[in-house]
Amino acid sequence: MEATNEMVTIYVMGKKYEVPGDLTIMKAMEYAGHQFRRGAGCRGGYCGACATLYRTKGSYKLEGALACQKIVEDGMYIAQIPFNPAEKKTYDINEVKPNANTILEYYPEVSRCLACNTCTKACPQDLMVMDYVQAALRGDIPKTAELSFDCISCGLCAVRCPAEIVPYNVGQLARRLYAKYIDGPSQHVLDRVKEVEEGVYDKDIDDLMKASKDELAKRYNSREIDISE
């Protein structure tokens, strides 16, 4: 990889590197010779696997970002957290009911929310995290599900929360309750599942399994894309 911009100094786990200043944290680490075995997934800001903590030059603040999105800065200190140690409660979604106190039953720590908005400030997706935690506290499952819909569970909100809440687990439970009991399955999904069970697509799947790599690429590149609402 060739330098394409002014070089800057970064520190990865305390070690100094000179890297091009127009790279993301992830690309800068690879430029410096780091091989990602963990902490990398989609590389597009969707999977949440590359959660990173960093400090910028002259700042005391500990910031959070996704390594595949954040551009490096001169003097940046970087430490990846590819796994956030947080307990997720186990439950059978077929037995859990969408009552107002259900979320508090499984995650009572929600009641400790200080409404400090630190979680929202830490979110790399710019979600209103505090708002959906507060909605969960009120027992408003639809609102919690709506506001947390784009959560990628990177863990940065939980790292920063002074009340030791794990917002992404709270949002996940709300979305599961909403999808199963309040919104319900979409008819077109039920129809498609029935077709799969009846073997409607068996021949097409068999053809794909037998196709060459070149044929698969040709089919993929010539596919029709529906962009209508």
In the chain, % of residues over pLDDT 90: 75
Q: Mind listing the pLDDT tens digit for each residue in 36-49?
A: 888 888 888 888 88
Which pLDDT band holds residue 192 (cuts at 50, 70, 90)? very high
Running DSSP on this structure, what letter comes out for residue 205? H
pLDDT digits (tens, 9 = 90+) for 159-176: 999 999 999 999 999 999
The whole-model pTM stands at: 0.75
